[in-house]
Structures are given as C-alpha cells and as structure tokens.
Amino acid sequence: MSDARNDAAHDLAVLVDVARRLGETFDLDSLLQSVEQAGRSALGCERATVFLYDAGRDELYSKVATGTDEIRFSARLGIAGEAVQTRDVILVPDAYADPRFNRDIDRKTGYRTRNLLTLPMIAPDGQVIGVLQVLNKIRGEFEENDVRLASALGALTGVAIKRQMLLDESAARQRLERDLNIAREIQQRLLPKQQPVVPGYDIAGWNLAADQTGGDMYDFIPLPDGRLGVMIADATGHGIGPALIVSQCRSVLRAVADGRSSPSQLVCRLNDLLCDDLPSDKFVTLCFGILDPIEHRLDYVSAGHGPQLHLRVATGDVDSFNATGVPLGIMPGTPIEPAEPVRFEPGDLFVMITDGFMEWCRADGEQYGTERLIDLLRHHHTEPSASLIERLYADVQAFSQDTPQLDDLTVIVVKRTT
C-alpha cells in the first residue's frame, strides 16, 4: 500500500511539474521541445520523439526527435500509427521481437532501440493531436505504472499542444488580417482620388472589391495635350495576388503613356512586360482608351475584356463591343488590334465594366446579365455618370436578393455633355 501511495505521489508530482513547464511556453516549437523533455524525464528513458498528426494527409511527422532529423510516414503504419488508430498507449518490451517495429530508423542512426512506449496525445475535443514515443527505459523495463503515467501525460500534452495550435492560428489570422488591411489601403490609394475634369464630358469610375483586396483596377491618366487615358483591368481571381497584378498594369501604363503612342502600342508593350512576370496560369483582361475631347473620339483596345457598351442617345441604340485581342500575360509579341473609334454625340455614353456585375447571381442561379444593364442605361442615361453608377449597383443588389458578392465590381462611365 505504501509503495502504491509513493508511486501515486510521484506521478502526481511529475504531472504537476510537466503542467507547469508546458504552461510557461507560448511557442509551438518550444512547447514540443518541452513535451519531448517531459516525456524523457517523466518516464525515465533515453530518447523521445514527438509526432504531430497531419489529418489532411493522414500522416505522422516528427517535429522534435532526439538525435534524428524529421521523419514522416503514414498514420496507418507501425506502432505510432496504431496508437493513432486505437488511441491507446502501446507498450513494447522488446522492440526487435515486435513485427510492427520499423528497424530502418535504427539502421540510419546507429541507435539500438530495446523497448518503447507509445502514447497518443489527445485534445479535449477528442481530436488526436499526435503521438509521443519514448525509447529505452534507463532503469529496467517499462511497467504498468509507466502506462498509467503515459496516459495522463498524453492527455496533458494534448491539451497544451491544441491550445498552442489555436493560439498560433489566431495570431496568424490576425497577421493576415493586418497585412490584408495594409494591402487594401495601398490598393485604394492607387485608385483615382477624384473624378477627372474634361471639358464637355462627365466621367466617373467606381470599384468595390469582393475581398479585402481585389483583382480589378481602373485609372484615369491625364496626357499633356489635354487628352485622357482611361483604363479598366481585371486579373484572374481576387485577393492579394490579382491585386498586385492589376496594380502593376496601372503603374506600367502610367510609366509608358507618353502622349505619342497609340493605345494599341501601349498595351502591346504592357503585355510583353507582364509575360516576363506572370506565372503561366495567370492573365489580365484590360480595356484601355484615349479620349480626345476636341475630336469627341475615343480610341481604344480591349485585351480579352468585354463587353464595352456605347449608348447612342439619338437612336436609343446600345452597341456592345467585345475584345480586340487576347488577355495580357499569355504570350509576348501578341498583336492587339485597335477597335473602331467611338465617336460621341451630345448625351452619348461609353461604359467599361467588369464581369462581376453581369455574373452576379441570385439564389436560383440566374445572372444579372448584359440585357438588364442595357435597359438601365437606356432608362437613366440622363443622370450624371456617378449617379448612374450608384443606380447600377443598387439595381444589381436588388436583383441578387441578398446573395453574397463573389467577384469584384468595377465600372467607368464616359458621358458627353455638350
């Protein structure tokens, strides 16, 4: 009875000490080091290995292994795998007599495993976090009391590791959120701060990203002779990567727009530069034009972007124009032909828009579509450009019936007033 009490008191003291040490650590790698050290000291053995469980790949991998490099293997193999599957502590008194024991690691390291104890680390929610394996009892053999202590140690370390994983995930989310907010702020600063002032024209642009950062961009580029460059771009996807791509489009166009080159020449130059930088699975659709307010003419090219819409007030017709070339970033040296120039009469509109508007679906799967957009332009073309954009966004929202915005929204309206 006295020996049993002494064993219980010893085990309790060990667990209290382990809990104290685990509670002092707030870094996963340091915590795993503490778990490895706790396993060796609590169970009186020579070596210990902490295997974490990768549920997605159904694998175990070592983060801390005394005297070895990282080890990764199927969680359905070997003694450690069996501990995951059964959630039981496994005692092996003679490693080389057990067919489950993998001798390859001993061969690689030159270490001789005599006996081992393998315990699953289980979180409070029942999730297996990993396995702690201790090798070679220093004095004698592993006994039933070691098994009981190992069970308690597995639960204790499982709680500590799960806690730290949750803390790390929370910290990572906060860092990502902070980085995304910074990226969003930078991207928003790249958008025009005010609508351009062009005699005889009412021009407005607008953007709303689906995420913190978006894959759409628009810009107005004043040229020295009073003409205005107008750009709208849409990179594949949305988020930080596409945001960087369309920001690069804006920066390059601003750098090369010299007032002498045509839209086709400028966009071909942009395409060649993007082909050097973009991965093979990324591309950008872009529409870029130069408005001449004296000639009342817009020369433009569309690299995979469409539709562009031209409302003629005199007839009420709305012409829809598709791309004049392939998207940017796919193949260098690709010719991008100019479109037929748009000629403005008083009251005429030209609309450059991304597909987030037309492809917004309501719950039954029906899209807003181009026809609804055309009807809205016909009925409200007399409104100022900024008001027309507000009305378009409100109309799309009403149509969507509260389905979430899944794509970025960007639009430019160019309207001749006199």
254 phi, psi to nearest 5 deg:
-65, -35
Q: How far is CA 120 from CA 65, 154, 155, in A?
A: 16, 6, 8
Predicted model pTM: 0.66
Amino acid at 337: E
Whether residue 8 is predicted with pLDDT greater than 50 in this model: the reply is no
Q: How far is CA 72 from CA 119, 319, 333, in A?
A: 17, 61, 47
Nearest alpha-carbon partner for 259 in 232, 287, 291: 291
Whether residue 72 is predicted with pLDDT greater than 60 in this model: the reply is yes
pLDDT at 2: 47
In the Cβ-directed half-sphere of 134, how many Cα atoms lie within 13 Å?
29
Alpha carbon distance 360, 392 (integer Å): 12
Position with higher pLDDT, 194 vs 102: 194
Nearest alpha-carbon partner for 39 in 109, 87, 73, 89: 89
Report the alpha-carbon angle 388-393-204, nearest 5.
40
Nearest alpha-carbon partner for 236 in 327, 361, 359: 327
Whether residue 9 is predicted with pLDDT greater than 60 in this model: the reply is no
Mean pLDDT of the region 54-78: 79
Whether residue 24 is predicted with pLDDT greater than 70 in this model: the reply is no
Confidence of residue 14 (pLDDT cuts 50, 70, 90): low
Instruction: Tell me the two tokens of residue 4.
Output: 């049993």
Amino acid at 90: I
Q: Where are the beta strands (DSSP E) in 264-368?
A: 284-292, 297-303, 308-312, 317-321, 342-343, 349-353
Q: What domains are defined for the chain?
A: 2-166 (3.30.450.40), 183-416 (3.60.40.10)
Nearest alpha-carbon partner for 49 in 139, 124, 133: 133
Whether residue 58 is predicted with pLDDT greater than 60 in this model: the reply is yes
pLDDT at 66: 60
Alpha carbon distance 283, 272 (integer Å): 12
